[in-house]
Structure 1
């Protein structure tokens, strides 16, 4: 099983990564971590470092990846969700594990939700970690 885990630096995305690490162990899956952003910054480096530390502690050899999308200005959550779906299609992932901030309907309407976008498409099984 090939598992994709998008991380955005939030605690819930790192809880999702921790869950995915255990999930991959139990089901003998391969894990791949991606951070979607419009520009790489020091924050990007920190997110990748934190992800790498968790993977190394678990003995997983994956190198977290950055996916750059310059179109994140409008409804960034929805755009990130579409980027995740494109990765699933291009690379053939079998499962996505991602965090969800639990934002309300108003926030989701304004910003969009990456998790909601991925789940709605019904392309691949998705585990949402709050």
Structure 2
């Protein structure tokens, strides 16, 4: 089983990463961690370091990756969801585990949601962690 765990630096994305580690261990799967951003900077490195810490603590092999998308300025959450779906198609992942911020209706309507975009696609089984 190939599991994709997108992270964004939020607590819920790291709860999802911890869950994904357990899932990978339970099912003998490979876990791939990705952070999608429009610019790599010090905050990006902090997110990756925190993810490495989770992987180490959970005893799961892997090195988090960064995917850069320079088109994140308009509806960034929806675009990130689309980028995740592109990764699924390119790399052949079997399952996604990701966090969801639990935004209100107005925020979701205006900004979209990466998790909602993934779920609405019906392209891959997904576990969403609040």
Pairwise CA distance, 1:27:
1.1
User: Unmatched 5+ residue regions in structure 1?
Assistant: none
Unaligned runs of 5+ in 2: none
- TM-score (norm: length of structure 2): 0.98
Q: Which residue of 2 aligns with 1:113?
A: 113
Partner of 1:25: 25
Q: Does 1:3 align with 2:7?
A: no
Say whether residues 1:65 and 2:65 are aligned partners.
yes
Q: 1:1-130 to 2 correspondence within 5 Å?
A: 1-130=1-130
In structure 1, how many angstroms separate the alpha carbons of the residues matched to 2:56 and 2:15? 16
Which portions of structure 1, spanning 4 or more consecutive aligned residues, are displaced by more than 2 angstroms?
A: none
Q: Secondary structure at the match of 2:66?
A: strand
The total of aligned residue pairs comes to 130
Shift of the alpha carbon at 1:31? 0.3
Deviation at 1:41, TM superposition (A): 1.0
Shift of 1:40: 0.4
User: Structure 1, residues 106-127: CA drift from partner, whole Å, max 9, x if none?
Assistant: 1011111000000000000000
C-alpha distance in 1 between matches for 2:38 and 2:27: 33
Structure 2: distance between partners of 1:3 and 1:61: 13
Q: CA deviation at 1:69?
A: 0.3
1:59 CA displacement: 2.1
**1:58, CA displacement in angstroms?**
2.0
CA RMSD of aligned residues (A): 0.6
Secondary structure of the 1:63 match is coil
When normalised by structure 1's length, the TM-score is 0.98
